[in-house]
């Protein structure tokens, strides 16, 4: 009897231990899933910060995006059991089997647009129709946001034979999403279309036309830019124009750029980072010596030269309310020595400390990626592809394929 009681106690203890282990395993699994979700959030934040810098290591971007996709794969494989259902109950295999329209429907209904844009390059099927027919079919169905989503991939930037549609847009008779207007005016344009776009009241058309000129290597681009810049009063538009101007070898832009950055320091870093010609480093050094632009100009300096500078005497920043704020200074003599050393190295441009020739950027920048890098490279490609590169951030895999193709062609 005693042995029987002991056996019953042992069995109950064993069952309790098994149940306890089951709970532990369940909680461990749930905890691990939350870790996957947290890693996706953290890695996407790191990626966003990296992309915002405009120029960075291609290898770094590739590692980040690969890690994000690995965590998303695990979460998607659990479908609705996942603590965060990114893909409406679909695994990666399910997404890969969807039609283009069905994939886009799920993507557009989600608030995770950056994640879908990253996954689309690997998982989204191509439409059965060619670009023009598909574009017109979506327009007829009032479903053009689908094509906007597709335009994250450069193959959808070529939409030939749309002269009639461009005419209605120029006349104000047709309303399209901003990205699609940009695509329409990233096609080969005749002189009349170009002049109408440059003189248009819609800045989207104006900027698309100017980028079109840049990608074609238009020698009169700087003059066209000056005309638009002088007639524009919106700071965000002027900032975009100055970014394009920074990619043009014209020192006439240095003074208007300095004046703009002092008046609108919130745009200073992005604008100056596009001034890739070494002659513009004098401008960057000048703005590092001005209190209200110092930090932004220094960040641009790092983007261009990748050379940290020594500290110097503090500067006093006086706000509009006459409030004084003291901030650490930067050794401008150190900056000048770096500038002189870079001037002696081969190549008229510099980005992330790499000297290169604008006509052959692949010889120096093949290991870099980012918006500024893409814009430097853009004129090396066919027109619509070039315009797409200027306007659309590429994933590491997309950019690596493009660079490999450019190097092979060279």
Q: What is the pLDDT of residues 45-80, one digit of tens each?
A: 999 999 999 999 999 999 999 999 999 888 888 765
| Burial (Cβ within 10 Å: 0-12, 13-18, ≥19) of residue 349 | buried
Q: What is the pLDDT of residue 83?
A: 62
- Read off the tokens for 34: 């939350």
Residue 7, pLDDT > 80, answer no
Q: pTM of the predicted model, to two decimals? A: 0.86
Please state, rounded to an integer, the average pLDDT across all residues of the chain.
86
With residue 356 as reference, give the H or E element that holds it.
Answer: strand 354-356
CB atoms within 10 A of CB 268: 29
Q: Quick one: pLDDT at residue 300?
A: 98
The band of 117, judged by pLDDT with boundaries at 50, 70 and 90, is confident
Q: Which residues lie below 8 Å from residue 218, measured CB to CB, with a gap of 6+? A: 224
12-16, 35-39, 290-294, 328-332, range with greatest mean pLDDT: 290-294
- Given a cut of 90, whether residue 161 has pLDDT beyond it is no
pLDDT at residue 375 is higher than 90:
yes
Higher pLDDT, 120 or 202: 202
Non-local (6+) Cβ contacts of 234 within 8 A are: 203
Mean pLDDT lowest for which of 28-32, 36-40, 91-95, 218-222? 28-32
In degrees, to the nearest 5, what angle opens at C-alpha 114 toward C-alphas 78 and 353?
Answer: 125
**Residue 44 token pair:** 């996407």
Look up tokens 């100009």; give the residue: 297
Task: Give pLDDT, residue 183.
Answer: 94
For the ranges 92-106, 274-288, 307-321, 376-390, which has the lowest average pLDDT? 307-321
CB 360: neighbour CB atoms within 10 A? 13
Enumerate the H helices of 199-347 as residue ranges.
203-216, 221-231, 235-246, 254-263, 268-273, 281-288, 294-305, 332-344
Residue 327: pLDDT band (50, 70, 90) is low
């Amino acid at each position: 009897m005693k042995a029987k009681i002991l056996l019953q106690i042992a069995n109950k203890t064993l069952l309790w231990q098994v149940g306890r282990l089951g709970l532990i395993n369940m909680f461990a699994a749930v905890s691990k899933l939350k870790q996957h979700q947290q890693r996706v959030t953290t890695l996407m934040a790191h990626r966003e910060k990296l992309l915002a810098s405009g120029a960075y290591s291609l290898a770094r971007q590739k590692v980040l995006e690969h890690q994000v996709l690995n965590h998303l794969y695990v979460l998607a494989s659990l479908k609705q059991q996942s603590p965060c259902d990114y893909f409406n109950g679909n695994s990666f295999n399910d997404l890969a089997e969807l039609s283009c329209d069905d994939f886009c429907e799920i993507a557009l209904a989600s608030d995770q647009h950056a994640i879908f844009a990253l996954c689309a390059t690997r998982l989204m099927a191509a439409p059965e129709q060619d670009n023009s027919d598909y574009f017109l079919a979506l327009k007829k169905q009032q479903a053009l946001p689908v094509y906007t989503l597709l335009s994250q991939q450069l193959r959808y930037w070529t939409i030939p034979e749309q002269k009639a549609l461009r005419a209605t847009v120029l006349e104000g008779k047709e309303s399209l999403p901003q990205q699609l207007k940009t695509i329409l005016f990233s096609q080969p344009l005749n002189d009349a279309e170009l002049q109408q776009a440059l003189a248009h009241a819609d800045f989207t058309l104006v900027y698309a036309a100017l980028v079109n000129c840049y990608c074609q290597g238009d020698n009169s681009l700087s003059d066209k830019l000056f005309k638009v810049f002088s007639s524009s009063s919106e700071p965000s538009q002027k900032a975009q124009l100055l970014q394009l101007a920074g990619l043009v070898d014209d020192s006439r832009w240095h003074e208007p750029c300095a004046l703009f950055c002092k008046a609108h320091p919130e745009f200073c870093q992005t604008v100056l980072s596009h001034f890739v010609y070494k002659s513009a480093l004098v401008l960057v050094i000048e703005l590092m010596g001005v209190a209200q632009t110092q930090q932004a100009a220094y960040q641009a300096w790092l983007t261009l030269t990748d050379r940290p500078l020594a500290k110097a005497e503090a500067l006093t920043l006086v706000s509009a309310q006459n409030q004084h704020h003291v901030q650490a200074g930067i050794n401008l003599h150190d900056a000048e020595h770096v500038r002189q050393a870079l001037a002696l190295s081969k190549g008229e441009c510099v980005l992330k400390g790499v000297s290169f020739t604008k006509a052959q950027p692949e010889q120096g920048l093949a290991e870099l990626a980012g918006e500024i890098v893409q814009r430097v490279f853009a004129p090396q490609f066919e027109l619509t592809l070039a315009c797409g590169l200027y306007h659309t951030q590429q994933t590491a895999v997309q950019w690596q394929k493009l660079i490999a193709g450019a190097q092979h062609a060279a």
